[in-house]
Amino acid sequence: MAAAATGLVELHDVRKSFEQKEVLCGVSFSLRKGTTLAVMGGSGSGKTVLLRIASGLIRPDAGQVSLFGTRIERMREEAMLALRKRTGFVFQGAALFDSLSVFENVAYPLREHTNMSLGEITDRVHRFLSLVGMPDSDDLLPAELSGGMRRRVGIARALVMEPEVVFFDEPTAGLDPTNARLVAELIATLRAGVCDTAIVVTHDVGFADMIADQMAILYRGRFADLGTPSEIRASSNPDVRRFLAGDLRQD
């Protein structure tokens, strides 16, 4: 069922509960092409749940979710496949297949969802590994990579299908400051070409400043505020002020 959508991703009054605890209490936004939205909030604020609903990985309890102008909140998994091929998802911690080499991890979506030849797959994988600063790493296993290198491979895998929208789940979480900055700089650089539309979940305000056109602060299941980075920093909302001051509590 198609919707008259103006954004590539749109949520309207989305709600989600787990074990009678309401995690999202009516979230709405529209993500236009060429925009990177950073969704910020403390631990347990529902950021990852929101990201998974927006990408179609889980269903909301109520509300509307549109992806590329198509309502997906009640769409069957088989019907979602064509839309999902147009998106990329960078999981927290990269979520690489431990038994597969770097090359095979990045090639996996191409083998699963395209009829590309081995030569075409090889060229595409090498292009994206070079793009994320990981050339000549084909035969390495995830266990041989640093945390920052695993994130880069995860980003390459998310981008290899040349998606129209990319969803990033805490891409710098758990990294030391140097690697976190390198990953942030990579994502900022990618915005100029292969990854111009994205939703990035993070608790890191400095990282969000580097990569976002729009910021949203998720607090108690709702957006306390949504706007440009300068608008968020100038916000008079007390919950936004508390978050920017480093108070990440949700109670």
pTM: 0.90
Q: Which residues contact 241 (CB under 8 A, 6 or more apart)?
A: 235
Lowest mean pLDDT among 17-31, 107-121, 174-188: 174-188
**Is residue 143 predicted with pLDDT exceeding 90?**
yes
Q: What is the separation of C-alpha 202 from the centre of its chain, rounded to a whole number of angstroms?
A: 9
Domain spans, the chain:
34-56+77-244
**Hey, what CATH topology would domain 34-56+77-244 get?**
Rossmann fold (3.40.50)
pLDDT on residue 250? 55
Residue 75 confidence (pLDDT) above 80: yes
Total number of residues shown for the chain: 251
pLDDT value at residue 248: 58
Question: Between these two residues, 19 and 71, which has the higher pLDDT value?
Answer: 71
Structure-block tokens of residue 107: 């090639």
Q: Count H helices and E strands in the chain, helices first.
A: 9, 10
| Confidence grade of residue 3 (pLDDT, cut at 50, 70, 90) | very low
pLDDT band at residue 94 under the 50/70/90 scheme:
confident
Q: How large a percentage of the chain has pLDDT more than 90?
A: 62
pLDDT at residue 173 in the model: 85
Q: How far is CA 208 from the centre of its chain?
A: 12
Measured from the Cβ of residue 81, the count of other Cβ atoms closer than 10 Å reads: 10
Q: How many CB atoms lie within 10 A of CB 225?
A: 18
Q: What is the mean pLDDT of the chain?
A: 89
Q: What is the pLDDT of residue 196?
A: 86
| Residue 9 CB partners (closer than 8 Å, separation 6+) | 30, 31, 54, 66, 67, 165, 199
